[in-house]
Chain A
Amino acid sequence: MIKIDSIKKGIVIDHIKPGCGHTIFKDLGLHKVGYTVALIKNIPSIKMGKKDLIKIENEIDLDMTMLGLLDPNLTVNIVENGKITEKIKLKLPEKIKGILKCKNPRCVSTIENITDIEFTLIDPENKIYTCEYCDTPVKA
């Protein structure tokens, strides 16, 4: 098994669904950075069978809202001096702004330039949010 706790200071994103690591890697823009990053795929996991994992040897500002939306089952570990100092269990954000778009053709957002529509979580199981303007549900 590949050793995964070898970074000194940075972030480890754990419990990524197998096959999804690549998408998250790209969504975070890690394929373009200059510091040390690693994407490890298909690690055997007792809980998940298999999992993907991302290691980032740098202090970066992770967008937890975005990450939670991508996969609420992720764990984000903050590593300092080679040790995990904080474990963050992600969850679906209750409110999100500026990420989702409303698909209702009758919504005012289709005729006005609104970049910060707030969506509210109404069904966590199915990741359903509603538009603040027209209450139309959308799947995140």
Chain B
Amino acid sequence: MLKDRHLIQPGDFTVGEIQGLFELADQIMESPEKYMDVCRGKLLATLFYEPSTRTRFSFEAAMLRLGGETIGFSEPGSSSVSKGESIGDTIRTIGCYADIAVMRHPKEGAPLLASKKSVIPLINAGDGGHQHPTQTLTDLMTIRRYKNRLDNLVIGLCGDLKFGRTVHSLVKALSRYENIKFVFISPNELEIPSYITDKLTSEQYETTRSLEGSLGKLDILYMTRVQRERFFSEEEYLKLKDYFLLNAKKMEKAKSDMIVMHPLPRINEISTDMDNDDRAVYFEQAKMGMYIRMALIMKLLGVE
């Protein structure tokens, strides 16, 4: 039962509970009209201590499509938070008005702290570079949608694997399923941290510098942003960025049913000449994100 629970990190839910979310999301996608009133009279509070339009829209759209309403702030300057109110006091007060809350915060652990004081279900919508569980659920949902399974897959993760929070969470979440193989593709400077690979066996992963060389064996390619500021020099960045850039030409080397994912927004790591390729599912991924959030809101509120 997920009713009245919080979602702070992906591991808070069991594989079985996540499966339940997927199945509900499938049903919502299939017949959305059946669900357009299930949250009538319910209120979702969106507490965004740092702006993230994309994530906030996704949650608000999810609640509105279930017939519920939303309140909230999208930056702390416009709320009592700017007057120095503690996170605990804010969430307690919000709990008097709303039925469920979503929190994004620049400080790591803020949603966990809030959840300890919260009388309503709380969802972490990103805490600094730490956790972003609904992104992970979105990624899993997308893989399942296109591959019809979450086991027996070879997944390539490409780009900034050192600081990329979405990558770390996804690796952790996927390693709970059978026979997953990871191919970590990055420059030396942005290699996957050892505390992630330490939890994997040597058969479970390989690291490489070459995107082109690994494409042929992948079922999924997960691209991430490579940010300029991660490099020592502009020269270094310009030298390396093309290695980790995906375009239509390189895609010729990929399997015909390989899917390309990206948490968005992209900068230039996926060339726009890719967008009409059926294998590019990153916009669909955003849609999956809304459906899984709809399922999540329903489960946490206990409405069917």
Within the complex, the shortest CB–CB distance from A125 to chain B, in Å, comes to: 14
Q: Roughly how many angstroms separate A133 CA and B112 CA in the complex, as a whole number?
A: 7
Of B101-109, B156-164, B257-265, the one touching chain A: B101-109
Kindly list chain A residues whose C-beta atoms are within 8 Å of the C-beta of B130: 106, 134-135
Q: Roughly how many angstroms separate A38 CA and B108 CA in the complex, as a whole number?
A: 46
Q: Roughly how many angstroms separate A34 CA and B18 CA in the complex, as a whole number?
A: 60
> Within the complex, which residue of B105, B108, B113 is in contact with A114, where a contact is CB–CB below 8 Å?
B113
Given A106-B128, A134-B130, are A112 and B108 neighbors across the interface (CB < 8 Å)?
no
> Are the C-beta atoms of B129 and A108 separated by less than 8 Å?
no
> Within the complex, which residue of A104, A108, A113, A135 is in contact with B110, where a contact is CB–CB below 8 Å?
A108
Once A and B bind, how many residue pairs between them come within 8 Å at the CB atom? Answer: 44
Task: Report which B residues bind A (CB closer than 8 A).
Answer: 86-88, 105-110, 112-113, 127-130
In the assembled complex, A62 has its CB within 8 A of some CB on chain B:
no
List 13 extra interface pairs beyond A108-B87, A108-B105, A133-B109, CB under 8 A.
A104-B108, A107-B107, A108-B113, A109-B109, A111-B107, A112-B87, A112-B113, A131-B109, A133-B110, A134-B109, A134-B128, A134-B130, A135-B130
Number of interface residues of A (CB under 8 A): 16
| Closest residue of A by beta carbon distance from B106 | A106
Kindly list chain B residues whose C-beta atoms are within 8 Å of the C-beta of A107: 107-109
Kindly list chain A residues whose C-beta atoms are within 8 Å of the C-beta of B105: 108
Which of A104, A111, A132: most chain B Cβ within 10 A?
A111
| Closest residue of A by beta carbon distance from B9 | A135
Kindly list chain B residues whose C-beta atoms are within 8 Å of the C-beta of A110: 107
Q: Roughly how many angstroms separate A24 CA and B112 CA in the complex, as a whole number?
A: 35
Binary contact track A73-95/B, C-beta < 8 Å → 1, others 0: 00000000000000000000000
Given A108-B87, A112-B86, A112-B87, are A132 and B107 neighbors across the interface (CB < 8 Å)?
no
Binary contact track A40-54/B, C-beta < 8 Å → 1, others 0: 000000000000000
